[in-house]
A and B are shown apart, each in its own frame.
Chain A
Amino acid sequence: MVLLQRPHILLLLIGTHQFLQCWIAFGSFNEEGQKQEEFSEELLLKPLPDHKLLAHFHFQSSAPPSTSNGCHHHLFPKVISQLVQKFRVKEMELSFTQGRWNYERWGGFDPISSSNAKPPGVELWAVFDVPQHHIDASWKNLTHTLSGLFCASINFLESTATYSTPEWSFPPASGNVRYGTLPCEAVCTENLTPWLKLLPCRDKAGIALLLDRPSLYRGFYHSQRLHLTSTESSSEGIDSGIILEQTLTVVLQPNSERAVEVHASEKHIQPSWSLSSIFGKQVSGRCVLAKSSSVYLLLDRGLVAELKFPNKENGKSAANGLTSENVWSNPSFELSANPDRIFLEESSSHSKSLSILYMFQVEKCSESEPFDIGLMWKVPVAWLCQQTPLHASRFLMGSGNERGAIAISLKSTQFIEGFMSANSKDGSCELRVDVFQVVPWYVKVYFHSLRVFVDQQPRAVSDIIEKIHVSPSKDKMSPGVMEVVLKLPCRVNTAALTIEFDKGFLHIDEYPPDANQGFDIPSAIISFPNFHASMVFLEDDSLSKSPLLSKFQEKCPVMSYTEVLLVPLTTPDFSMPYNVITITCTVFALYFGSLLNVLQRRAAEEERFLKAKAAKKTGRLPLLLSMLSAKLRGRRREPLHSPPSSSSFINSKLVLKVILVAGLAVGWQYFFS
């Protein structure tokens, strides 16, 4: 027995050893290549001026190029890498949003708002690395795949009437980009769950543990985004593989009952909050697979300017003076935990004050000692977030269901004045604004009716519009796309674009079930290419750069989305198809029948005349036939000589007719079988 067992144990030992060796070798290979699958989780919290709190979850996974380690993944979701490989997606962004980002209160000039404020519903754009004529097919397949992946009706973006091809105004600026939106798509947990499944720890550990559904969906704004960059298929540049960036941005109202009780007299005081109070949960440990997991608290420039830091008067040298001690123990607020690190924004020319970022590591916490941070306000603070140079809004004009006009109005915010001095070098200061507008085909836009108003004065279109690209809508084929570059003077107060449209009439089957609700016109994208929202934080060591902070450093143009418009369209009577068909056909039959009747009717004496003739001759039919043949020959009718000859003539004609009809029938059968 023992002898028999030994070889087995030996084999087992050898096997284990080999496996371990392989495993070690694999690990060392990864270290050598310095390309590992990485995952990091971060959460950014930011108090907003209107007593709300912004929570921005940022999960980033990256996979090395598939050439180095095949199609096996440790952390990276396999679905995504398959999707990238199959459809050769170069870059893709999918967002599900509920609610509208309030640009006036929540700001529009920081990296979070310009890349995470999304239009309501679903927005999808993708850049493909395939030849031009394959792009549409790839897009179609991609929409179907994503539809299955995220339990959403993204497959409605499949038809050519719903997506568009932006030429140059859309950020990725390439001919291979496709863009589509579904403004009326409802977003709910069924979309969040598949999104969470892409995370290595799902929502079982780490920061994702905070994603408590009821508190998330109670928020004012909720946007889950998936951004994918792949350099795998491109030949040029650094081959960095696939980077999957998943963000979830929520704007929540901290539950401030306690604050109300205490400071009932002072309504201006910001509500105090903690992670456990806003999410109802605490982080009980980091996701062990994550490379870094940290929580940030961002106090933006406006807020920092309001807060009285002890040595703020030092100005630019404040960075040196702001030690951890004097920053987090501030007279106006109190943090419940000591920040592990504090970052200060690099001084920029844009504004006088600098934002401050507190970093908290989640590593230290455990089951028994869950991670939680809170912010307790002591004095009321009021500040303003940095806004986009021009505040954009869009509305409909006109009444009735026949025609209307879309107006995009741009209103100057005070913020622009700070820029004017910086940007006007040679006195002629110009503000460039890009407008990208997609309209569905049933909103038939008259592009020649484009009008521009600057400071409420009508201006010539060619003066203001530097560049325009239009692709008019084709019925049931493609939506209308308008890309405009406006050059506005810097001192502009208001600017407006109006464009007229006719409302289309659809076939009864093309109306959605709730036809009287109206149809949505997707948001217009207003971007300011001269302005870049970026936050560069002074860091001690560049090695431990967090993905979120490096994302902040990227120069992305300031962008804002306008409101979604709801256009009511006229509806036909949905219950009427049979009635309409029968009544119309009756009228046509009336026309046909009565006209034919009039044409072949004969007056009484004509009848008598014919009858008398018929009595004389062999019969009416041969008479008519002989008349016809006489007519055809163009000669006067000669009297028929003999009845037999005429009957044979009839027979031959009859036979000819029968043959003709039979031939027709055979031909018909043959043709349609």
Chain B
Amino acid sequence: MEKVKKKIGSFSFWNWVIASIIFRLILIYFPKNLNLSSRPEVSTPLTSFRRLAEGYWLKQSSMSPYAGSMYHGSPLLLSLLGPLTIKRIEGQPNHLLYSLVSVIADVVSAMLIRATGKNLRLASLRSLESLDLVKQIKVSEFLFSGDIAALIYLCNPFTIVACVGLSTSPIENMAVILCLYGACSRLIPLAAFGWVIATHLSLYPAILIIPVIFLLGCGPDSPPRKLFLQRHQQKEVLNQSKLPPHFSWGPIIHFAFWAFLWSVYVLVLCGISLKQFGGLWEMFKSTYGFILTVEDLSPNIGVLWYFFAEVFEFFRNFFLIVFHVNILFMILPLAIRLRHRPCYLAFVYVTICSMLKSYPSVGDSALYLGLLGWFVNELADMQFSLFLFCGYVGVSLLSPVMHNLWIWRGTGNANFYFATAMVYACLQIVLVVEGVSAMLNHDRKLRNLIISRPQDAKS
């Protein structure tokens, strides 16, 4: 994987961006042949374009968009994107405008990823400088991780499929990236806006509040304070000005204020648009309630659909709690261990969510794979990277085949498709575990360098 990234990095950035946009546009002009919008990998009940269109239709015929069990998205998305589902331009593909919105969302996300990556790189260089490690770690060999991350995000087949398949996940991803970008570049209102919108659209990004707090509190990449102190203890010189800043509560209160403001704003907007259709309670029930209770059992690339289709009704609530608590349980240990790298923490959270969420799609995978690009330098010696790359390729080729065999030809069995979903979950687990392990090893290496250098100097 790393080698691929390096290869990409050596080419001109803008050429690749333009190439990926052109590729998307080409795909948009063959929508009939591709029929991506009804693939289970692309459109989950939450992100499906057809359900959005149905919700809009219901709303237009003065019914609640949540009247049937069709639409489970946000009412704001309905007001913004709904009109695009029926607008047609003569002689053009049916949903051209909607696809263009997705393409723009993708490009904006990529640009934001690039800017955040630059920020991160600067921050990590600064912290290395403050630890006087610039010479030991050859900084000149550092890749421009922002460019790489943006290109991974743009050229990832998963992103392209999600964009061309008319799902709403490009928008959701953009909200998440907006939140991280705002937090990294200390644009607190923007960060709060991104966080509120991302939570509103898909609930799971709510846990990103922890990395955002760390980002605002101590900056994008501060070396562990303990490490710094250790270093200066050995040098016996305490340069107060070089100390990394303390955790500051000011920006966090600021963030909380803005988050409150934005959420009130969003809720008021939703309330207005749903005034005659049962109000906000109806919305919470059929968006968050639908996410948390896993009502729809249609196959997707996750594992929960088959689990809840097979599990005994009696245990259903128990397992619902177990699987959702699994996400929450890992928040605290990860936050303790990775608090000095908030962006990496955010990446791990996003990965865990996209693995354990009730209706995962490839759009979620596209997001975390894009964010992974930020840490090319730190994760350079991650284990199993080739295995993971091959695994991803294998699963993304096998899963449609198994789906076809099961659903369309009737020769396969649900178990075959479930097996690929299982393998996919395992791959994501390996990615998370190895990624966290590699990052911890990287930190360990830094500390070793700090501890061992004075001894080297002495000897």
Write the residues of chain A forming the contact surface with B, with a CB cutoff of 8 angstroms: 399-403, 441, 444, 446-449, 468, 470-475, 477, 480, 502, 504-509, 570-573, 576-577, 580-581, 583-584, 587-588, 590-592, 594-596, 598-601, 603, 605-606, 636
Contact = CB atoms under 8 A, between A and B. Distances in A.
Contact of A399 (B56, B408, B413): B408
B69 A441 contact: yes
Given A444-B69, A473-B69, A505 B305 contact: yes
Contacts of B306: 572, 580, 584
A450 to B, nearest CB: 9
Contact of A400 (B310, B407, B432): B407
A581 B307 CA distance: 6
The 8 A-B residue pairs with the shortest CB-CB distance in the complex, in nearest-first order: A472-B68, A448-B57, A475-B69, A400-B408, A577-B310, A505-B297, A580-B310, A591-B429
A446 B54 contact: yes
A473 B313 CA distance: 22
Contacts of B406: 570
Interface string B50-94: 100110111001010001111000000000000000000000000
A594 B429 contact: yes
B323 A572 contact: no
Contacts of A605: 448
B330 A502 contact: no
Given A580-B311, A581-B311, A401 B410 contact: yes
B299 interface: yes
Contact of B296 (A475, A477, A583, A590): A475
B295 A598 contact: no
B257 to A, nearest CB: 24
A592 B68 contact: no
Interface stretch (B195-203, B269-277, B374-382, B433-441): B433-441
Given A447-B57, A591-B429, 13 more contacts: A401-B407, A446-B50, A447-B58, A472-B69, A475-B295, A502-B50, A570-B407, A587-B422, A587-B426, A591-B432, A595-B333, A595-B432, A595-B433
Nearest to B436: A598
A502 B49 CA distance: 13
Contact of B61 (A444, A470, A506, A603): A470
A592 B408 contact: no
B234 interface: no
A592 B177 CA distance: 26
Nearest to A583: B422
Contacts of A594: 429, 433
Contacts of B355: 591
A542 to B, nearest CB: 50
Contacts of A572: 306, 309-310, 414
B415 A402 contact: no
A222 B441 CA distance: 79
Contact of A508 (B40, B310, B333, B418): B310
Contacts of A474: 67-69
A472 B407 contact: no
B444 interface: yes
Contacts of B68: 444, 472-474, 480
B303 interface: yes
Contact of A587 (B333, B414, B425, B448): B425
Contacts of A475: 69, 295-296
Contact of A470 (B63, B413, B436, B448): B63
A505 B407 CA distance: 11
Contact of B334 (A444, A580, A599): A599
Dominant secondary structure of chain A at its interface with chain B:
mixed
Contacts of A401: 407-408, 410
B312 A577 contact: yes
A83 B67 CA distance: 34
B453 interface: no
B38 interface: yes
Contacts of B295: 475
Nearest to A446: B54
Contact of B298 (A449, A502, A606): A502
B153 interface: no
Contacts of A502: 50, 298
Nearest to A480: B68
B181 interface: no
Contact of A603 (B326, B425, B444): B444
A505 B299 contact: yes
Contacts of B53: 446, 448
A508 B334 contact: no
Interface string B292-331: 0001111100010111111111000000001100100110
B310 A472 contact: no
B254 interface: no
A507 B313 contact: yes
14 contacts: A400-B407, A446-B70, A447-B58, A470-B61, A472-B67, A472-B70, A475-B295, A502-B50, A505-B297, A580-B311, A584-B307, A599-B333, A599-B334, A601-B440
Nearest to B409: A400
B337 interface: yes
Contacts of B50: 446, 449, 502
Given A400-B408, A576-B415, A507 B297 contact: yes
A73 to B, nearest CB: 46
Contact of B415 (A441, A506, A573, A600): A573
Given A504-B298, A506-B297, A402 B407 contact: yes
A572 B305 CA distance: 11
Contacts of B61: 468, 470
B41 to A, nearest CB: 13
Contact of B303 (A477, A570, A587, A600): A587
Contacts of A595: 330, 333-334, 429, 432-433, 436
Given A508-B310, A580-B310, A598-B433, A571 B414 contact: yes
Contact of B67 (A448, A471, A598): A471
A243 B348 CA distance: 73
Name the residue in A474, A507, A598, A603 with the highest tally of chain B Cβ atoms < 10 Å from its Cβ.
A598
Contacts of A577: 310-312
B414 A573 contact: yes
A244 B107 CA distance: 71
A482 to B, nearest CB: 11
Given A401-B407, A581-B310, A599-B334, A591 B326 contact: yes
A311 B85 CA distance: 68
Nearest to A401: B407
A42 B151 CA distance: 83
Contacts of A449: 50
Name the residue in A471, A473, A584, A606 with the highest tally of chain B Cβ atoms < 10 Å from its Cβ.
A584
Given A446-B70, A480-B68, A587-B425, A592 B330 contact: yes
Contacts of B58: 447, 470, 472
B309 A505 contact: yes
A413 to B, nearest CB: 33
Nearest to B441: A603
Interface string B253-280: 0000000000000000000000000000
B124 to A, nearest CB: 22
Contacts of B448: 605
A512 to B, nearest CB: 16
A598 B440 contact: yes
Nearest to B403: A402
Contacts of A591: 326, 355, 425, 429, 432-433
A514 to B, nearest CB: 16
B69 A506 contact: no
Interface string B324-352: 00100110011001000000000000000
Interface string B393-421: 00000000000001110100111001000
A594 B355 CA distance: 15
Contacts of B444: 603, 606
B69 A573 contact: no
A562 B434 CA distance: 60
Contacts of B38: 402-403
